[in-house]
Amino acid sequence: MFDIIKFLAKQNLALRGHTENDTSINRGFFLELVHLIAKYDPVLREHLVRSKICGKISITYMSPEIQNEFIAILGNKVRQHIIGQIKKAKYYSIIFDSTPDISHKDQTSQVLRYVVIENQEVQVVESFLDFIETKDKTAEGISKMILSKLEADGLDISNCRGQAYDNAAVMAGRHSGVQQRIKEINPKVEFVSCSNHSLNLVCLHTASVEANSVTFFGTLERCYSFFSKSTHRWEVLIAATGKSLKRVQDTRWSARGDAVKMTWHHYKDILVTLEKLTETGESLNTRTDAGILLVTMQSFFFLCFLDLWSPVLYEVNDAQKYVQTKGLDIRLCAQKVNALQLVLTEKREEWAEGAISYAKNICEELGVSMKFVNVFSNYRILAVKFAFLTPAILLDSDDTICNLDYASAEIDEQDFKLERHRLRTFIAATGNENKLINADSLELLKFIVKSKLEDTLPNIIIMLRIFLTIAISNASCERSFSKLKLIKNYLRSKMSTLRLTNLAILSIDQEVCDAIDIDSAIKDFALKKSRRVKF
């Protein structure tokens, strides 16, 4: 029974059917799998036969209530394993983001980031824990929810070292936002606004500064709507381009780039398609809308922005994909953002001239560099704050000033300086100095652990773990939303949050789910309620 539930949960499949009695042709995945396995398992087959003979007085272990108990036990097993890893790691970062589900309930995803050191292996992990139904959406209400959830999980807020949310005022507000309220309780909790969301906002706000830019993206959206609302028009488009148009969405990080790229590559084919749809054989509405789009897409301003935004969004999308990488630290994120700003600054004139002089003026009016400096200043501040933990500086022979105030309670400053010298001499003796000097902080920590230097360099390890623990993005929350939509769809819109969150953790943390000791789960079930059963 437990294995069947594990299988269905991992595949995001519904357990129950519409009608689950013996006369039903399809009793749902759970009961159908039970009866399928019973064909080859004599013990289970005998149990089903007895259950059918005894009727309602028998205990089948297949009722919806028992299913929920099995799901809860398995979900708690995964959750306990993750919380145990976090407590062992000690330091962690919190990542929270919310989205409405199919039943219009606001579901907040809880993800924790921490560093796992096991068997001389180092891994930066971001683990999903729960979906929490959120009714109070004020900064105070969300802060209380976060603190209450951490307390319920048995996690000490004093060991939290980072927090990552989106850029909404209620979350990121400097004076009374959630991040500030958490920081008042523990000043060591560094706040990082989601790097992906920040990049998306930069593009969104930049595109909305100038009226013609707004018109450009509006035209792309109208073009998509024109073709997608008719199967005939869509077929004509596919026949001409071999590709489908992409929709312009504000919330999806790469949507604008995909839309511009598709239009840029197939611009002439789209025009030919629109011309075909203006012919007399089409309906009046089709001919009218196609004619308007044809005129707009051949305008001077549309062509300018199409050529201008194509390389800009290509670089932005590349940066967005990079900062979504699991385990990325704040220094590498800041470097990528700096590199993006540098590319936009260096290529601005070239791209603008390529899109003719008017596009150049628009690009200068947008003030791209100023936007990036303001939005991403927090990344640079943290990168500078922890710069001494990069191998290039940490292994420098100079007595570099280290910002140890952040971890004054965890480490000893004098011991840290001695450990730096000890690490330098050890690396020099192994001949790996040139290799490690250009490595990142994670590679350095891996080297220390594999060299079995944990007891020799405890303070350096603590600082590296804290640095790597700081979250830079809520991309893991976004990934959990994808699971949410698969699990709680329109056919299962009445699913409770408890069942949802347990199914989600089994689906998301599949490696931990596979490692669950079924015998232990059965014991937990037996202890929960004493049942008499003839099996």
DSSP for 446-474?
HHHHHTT-TTTSHHHHHHHHHHHHS----
Q: From CA 476, how far away is CA 488, in angstroms rounded?
A: 18
pLDDT at 369 over 50: no
DSSP state of 243: S
Strand 160-165 to strand 92-100: parallel, antiparallel, or no bridges (unpaired)?
parallel
Burial of 409 (0-12, 13-18, 19+ CB in 10 A): exposed
Strand partners, 94: 112, 163
- Work out the angle between the directed axes of helices 64-89 and 518-528 (0-180°, nearest 10): 120
Q: From CA 440, how far away is CA 382, in angstroms rounded?
A: 15
Looking at residues 137-158, what average pLDDT do you find? 94
Q: 57-66, 185-194, 288-297: which range is least confident on average?
A: 57-66
Taking only the tens place, the pLDDT of each residue in 289-348 is 888 888 777 776 777 777 777 778 888 888 877 877 777 777 777 788 788 888 877 777
Measured from the Cβ of residue 377, the count of other Cβ atoms closer than 10 Å reads: 10
Q: What is the pLDDT of residue 251?
A: 55
Check if the beta carbon of residue 148 is closer than 8 Å to that of residue 155.
no
Q: Given pLDDT bands bounded at 50, 70 and 90, which one contains residue 361?
A: very low
Residue with tokens 């729960």: 130
Q: Which two tokens stand for residue 413?
A: 């400053």
Q: What is the pLDDT of residue 87?
A: 95
- Return the higher-pLDDT residue of 418 and 147: 147
Q: 125-139, 241-255, 360-374: which range is least confident on average?
A: 360-374
pLDDT at 158 over 80: yes
Q: Is 141 helix (H, G, I), strand (E, B) or coil?
A: helix
Looking at residues 112-138, what average pLDDT do you find? 92
pLDDT at 376 over 60: no
Q: From CA 261, how far away is CA 137, in angstroms rounded?
A: 37
Q: 30-44, 56-70, 373-387, 430-444: which range is least confident on average?
A: 373-387
Angle at 143 between CA 138 and CA 149, to 5 degrees: 125
Residues 6+ apart with CB under 8 A from 493: 101, 102, 103
Q: Given pLDDT bands bounded at 50, 70 and 90, which one contains residue 470?
A: confident
pLDDT at 240 over 90: no
Q: What is the pLDDT of residue 151?
A: 95
Looking at residues 229-253, what average pLDDT do you find? 78
Q: From CA 159, how far away is CA 466, in angstroms rounded?
A: 10
DSSP state of 136: -
Residues 6+ apart with CB under 8 A from 362: 210, 212, 213, 304, 305, 308, 352
C-alpha dihedral over 422, 426, 429, 433, to 10 degrees?
-100
3-state helix, strand, coil in the chain (%, to 5): 65, 10, 25
pLDDT at 164 over 80: yes
- Return the higher-pLDDT residue of 93 and 341: 93
pLDDT at 434 over 60: yes
Check if the beta carbon of residue 318 is closer than 8 Å to that of residue 257.
no
- Return the higher-pLDDT residue of 250 and 386: 386
DSSP state of 14: -
Q: What is the pLDDT of the chain when averaged over all its residues?
A: 81
Q: 121-130, 206-215, 437-446, 467-476: which range is least confident on average?
A: 206-215
For residues 17-56, one letter each, b for 16 or more C-beta atoms within 10 angstroms of the residue's C-beta and e for the rest, the string is: beebeeeeeebbbbbbbbeeebeeeeebeebbeebeeeee
Q: Given pLDDT bands bounded at 50, 70 and 90, which one contains residue 362?
A: very low
Q: 391-400, 502-511, 517-526: which range is least confident on average?
A: 391-400
Q: Given pLDDT bands bounded at 50, 70 and 90, which one contains residue 507?
A: very high
Q: Given pLDDT bands bounded at 50, 70 and 90, which one contains residue 487?
A: very high
pLDDT at 84 over 80: yes
Q: 40-44, 78-82, 386-390, 491-495: which range is least confident on average?
A: 386-390
Q: What is the pLDDT of residue 80?
A: 95
Residues 6+ apart with CB under 8 A from 453: 423, 426
Q: Given pLDDT bands bounded at 50, 70 and 90, which one contains residue 248?
A: confident
Check if the beta carbon of residue 246 is closer than 8 Å to that of residue 265.
no
Q: From CA 79, how far away is CA 515, in angstroms rounded?
A: 13
Q: From CA 128, how far away is CA 459, in angstroms rounded?
A: 29
What percent of the chain has a predicted confidence (pLDDT) above 90?
25
Q: What is the pLDDT of residue 488?
A: 92
Taking only the tens place, the pLDDT of each residue in 514-528 is 999 999 998 888 887
Q: Given pLDDT bands bounded at 50, 70 and 90, which one contains residue 366?
A: very low
Q: What is the pLDDT of residue 483?
A: 92
Q: What is the pLDDT of residue 417?
A: 81
Q: From CA 489, how far away is CA 414, in angstroms rounded?
A: 57
Taking only the tens place, the pLDDT of each residue in 199-234 is 666 666 565 556 667 788 888 888 888 888 888 888
Q: Which two tokens stand for residue 452?
A: 């079995």
Q: What is the pLDDT of residue 355?
A: 57
Check if the beta carbon of residue 447 is closer than 8 Å to that of residue 436.
yes
Check if the beta carbon of residue 507 is closer than 8 Å to that of residue 6.
no
